[in-house]
Each structure stands twice: as structure tokens, then as C-alpha cells.
Structure 1
Amino acid sequence: MKPNRRQIFTVGAAAAAASVAASAQTAAAAPAAVEFAATTSSTTGPYGSGVAGSWTNSTRAISTAAQFEKTRQTNGVFMFGDSISVQDGKALAIRLLNRNGTQLAVNNWSSRPSSGAVDALQAAASAYGLPRRILMASGSNDIFDPPKFRAQVDRAMSIAGRDRTVFWVDIQVVRRSVTATVQQADQRNSAWLNMQLYDAQTKYPNLRIIRWAEWLWVKPYRLLNYLRDGVHPSVPLGQDARNELIVQSLLS
């Protein structure tokens, strides 16, 4: 089957980003404020990025039941994310509220793969019902086992149903703390995850992809200036840029 334009861009950009990230391996990075999934050993695992460790005791940011109820009642946004969202979620909530009064309720958990994020989506649907917009900012921790990701996207879309819009932030991971070989695996797996997202979009017309990874690839210097460690946005530069992409998509 002939690849489409998106596939060609993704593969080409992934290769370019891997090269840039590898050259920056020794660049200074700010101390991590939140966790990325740790590997359980030195093995690179079956997909080259390592093997994910436990996430259940990692830092988290979860709104109160009252905030979830208020957000649903006012047609706000439910967010389910990982450590990037633990770092950036409060700033995103403020940005949304200041822009047009939109409420944000969050369930963000560091090191959590998308299976856990979708479990949280299911729990929120059962406990509160769902608003018309759902933000999935998850996938960075799926680089350790990319084949399982598409099933989680399908689960999320099934839970949301056809009458709600699911916004999903695409994935860019090239950890500066690992070897060049593992960095290449990180980028390859990030591209693999993104391809699954774009493929899912052809099936679900109510799936909207927020193109954070693409925004970074368009100008490769952004990979250094807007990511503090190859995963988490720098603050405030990267945080502001990513959150603005999300707000523009949610309010369009």
C-alpha cells in the first residue's frame, strides 16, 4: 500500500529528530520535577526503549469529586495524562479558565501508561458521567510496549462514544539520559505510537490529534529549547507552547 503524506512526514521527521536528540545527549538538563517510567533493569526490552517499572506510587494530580462534577455540569474538559500533565496541568487549567471560562478536571499520574489512563477514564465515566470533550495526554510511557497502544485508543473511543470528542496529544520521547542506541529506539517507538493514533483517526471521526510532536519536528531546534529532558516541556517555554496547542484545539 502506498504510504500517505502523513506517514512519509512522520517517518522522515522521526529520523531527523532522533539525529538531533542524539547530538544533544550531553546537553545540560534541568533536574526532573516529575517521574518518567523507570526501567526495571538495564535491559533494552523487546522494543529497545527498556522495560517499564511500576507507576502506582508515582506522583499524581487528581481533581476532587466536586471539581469533576462541576466540570461535567458546565461542559468543561476531563483530562487524563502522565507526568507531562502532572507538570503542566495546573498551568493548562489556568489558561483555559482565563481564555473563556472553561473548567478542567484532571486525573494525571506520572509514569502511567495509556492502559491506566483509560482505566481512569472508565472510572470517571461511571462515577460522574462524561462531558462532551475529553483530553487524553497519554502515550509517553507506551514506548516500552508500543503494540498495546492501539487497543487503548480503541477502548477510550468506545468509552467516550460517538457524541463526544476525544482530543489526544501525540507523542515525542527521546530521553537525553540514555544511550544513543536507546534514544533511537525511543524515537522509533514514538513514531510507531503516533502512526497508530493517525490510523485510529481514520476510523473515528470524533478523534482529534493535537500535533505536539509534529510542532517540535517542524523546527528541530525546538527539541532542545522546548523539552528539558527529551520528554517533559521546558518551563515556561515548552509548557506554554504545548498548552497553547491544546487550548487552541479544545476551543476550535
Structure 2
Amino acid sequence: MRKHLGGFRPSRRMLFAAGTAAAASTVAAGTAEATPATANIALGAYGSGVLSAWEGFARAISNEAQVRRTRATDGVYMFGDSIGVQDGPALALQLSQLGISIAVHNWAGRPVTPAVDALETWAQQYGLPHRILMSVGSNDIFTPPAVAAQVERTMQIVGDERTVYWVNVQAARTALGPDIKVADQRNSAWINLQLAEAQRRYDNLRIVHWAEHLASSPNRLARLLRDGLHPSIPLGRNARNGLIISAIKSG
């Protein structure tokens, strides 16, 4: 059910408080490897860089028969990015063991807006099951303010009678310099604040707290992420998929 809708513009203080402490700990916990120079990297408006041309990257998209079968059996539609491409097959296996079908639209490098475009296309072409999994947002660290409108758009497409499970994000890419890692973490926090605000307005939006899981215990960032962004295999993949499964089982 939709709750009262209000605008959300995080202040500089909110973003600083949410991101800087975690970013500092992330940088401090990094390995002693040499830090690449960042002088020639375009940092973009938000310090994390500029989104790459993702359209030619790896993708995993279910065929029409699988989408229709998932809709008919009221399974799960998944819209993801490179983490979905990597972790989606293992998640599908776990769901199948629970008797839940899944159709995926995962595309590496893709930010939220075109993922929501794909959701809208499937809604129009096939209709929607009662569970939608959004595993996107990591590629929005380059333009974090774009997320709030797309979460709102998602909830409008899905409606009040379906549940959206949205995995929040954690990025602090270890191959880049400390300034970029701090920006990544700050922008991740900004994205997660927008998701948290949306959850206060929509009873049918469930946040899968991946970022909090990583931050809740020492060394989890190092053990469960292989590059500061993508889950390690198998530990990180299993942990993240486990959180998704638990959320779906909880309804």
C-alpha cells in the first residue's frame, strides 16, 4: 500500500554522516597494494567517475517462454546488473529448490533507469508476477540523484498488490585511489538513503540490506567482496543470495 508521498533531498550533512565513516574504514581495511594514479580519471560530478557505455557488456536475459512460465506460475522477475549476471544462476537454483520459478533480465554495467525500462516492457508484454527483485543501483554511484525517481517509477509500474525486493548497494572499488573509494562509499550511502526513504512511503517495498550485512562484522568487506563491489565466489555470492532468499521467504 502506498504511504504519504514526500520529496527527498538528502542534505550534505546526511550524506557525510552516512558515508564518510564507512568509507574511511573501507580504505583503512584495504590491502597494502599500490594505489593506481587517478589524475587522468574523469571523476564526474559526484567523484566516482563516469558511467561506461554498458550496452555491449555481458547480459543474461530469459527467453519469452521462461518469462511466460514465470508469470503463469507467479514466480519472480529479476532485474539486475553485473552482480545479477554473476550471481543469478546460483540464485535461480536456490529458488527452484523452493519451487519458485524466476525470469531474469540482468545486464552488466546497467544503471537503474534502463532496468526500470525493462521492467515496464515486461509488464506491458507479459504482465507481472507478485514478486519483483531489483538487484540494481551499483552503477548509479556515478549519478546517485537519479535513483529516487526510478524507485518511484518502479512502484507505480508494480502497483500496490505486488512486492518489490530491492537489494541496496555497497561500492568502494579497491582498484582505484582512496578519493574515489570515499566517493563510491558516499554515493552508495546516498542511494541507500533514497531506498530507505521510499520504503517509508511504500508498504510493499522490501529492502534487502546487503550494505548493512557487509558493515555489521569486521573483515566482511574483504571476505565477501572481491573488488570492493562484486561479491566474492562462493562466500559473497552465497551471503548475498541468502539475504535475498530470506527476504522472499519472509514475504
What is the TM-score with the length of structure 2 in the denominator? 0.88
% identical aligned pairs: 53
Q: RMSD in angstroms over aligned alpha carbons?
A: 1.8
Assess, with a 3 A threshold, how the Cα gap between structure 1 residues 184 and 59 changes in structure 2: closer, same or farther. same
Assess, with a 3 A threshold, how the Cα gap between structure 1 residues 217 and 10 changes in structure 2: closer, same or farther. farther
Give, as a single letter, the amino acid of the residue that structure 1 aligns with 2:99. G
Matched, 1:101 2:99: yes
Partner in structure 2 of residue 19 of structure 1: 24
Separation in 1 of the partners of 2:240 and 2:32? 22
Offset at residue 75 of structure 1 (A): 1.0
Partner in structure 1 of residue 207 of structure 2: 209
What is the TM-score with the length of structure 1 in the denominator? 0.88
Offset at residue 22 of structure 1 (A): 1.1
Separation in 2 of the partners of 1:103 and 1:203? 29
User: Which structure 2 residues correspond to residues 210-225 of structure 1 after superposition, within 5 A?
Assistant: 210-225=208-223
SS at structure 1 position matched to 2:104? strand
Separation in 2 of the partners of 1:232 and 1:181? 19
Choose which of 174, 182, 189 in structure 1 pairs with 2:180.
182
Separation in 2 of the partners of 1:181 and 1:12? 17
Separation in 1 of the partners of 2:17 and 2:187? 14
Separation in 1 of the partners of 2:192 and 2:106? 20
Choose which of 157, 160, 170 in structure 2 pairs with 1:159.
157
Matched, 1:90 2:89: yes
Residue-by-residue CA offset, 1:19-66 (whole Å, 9 max, x unaligned): 2321344467xxxxxxxxxxxx72111101011121110100001111
SS at structure 2 position matched to 1:51? coil
SS at structure 1 position matched to 2:169? coil
Count of residues in Structure 1 that have an aligned counterpart in Structure 2: 232
Separation in 1 of the partners of 2:206 and 2:42? 35
Structure 1: stretches of 5+ with no match in the other structure: 1-7, 29-40
Separation in 2 of the partners of 1:214 and 1:198? 12
Contact 2:15 2:186 in 1 (8 A): no
Partner in structure 2 of residue 248 of structure 1: 246
Offset at residue 243 of structure 1 (A): 0.2
Contact 2:18 2:186 in 1 (8 A): no
Structure 2: stretches of 5+ with no match in the other structure: 1-12, 34-39
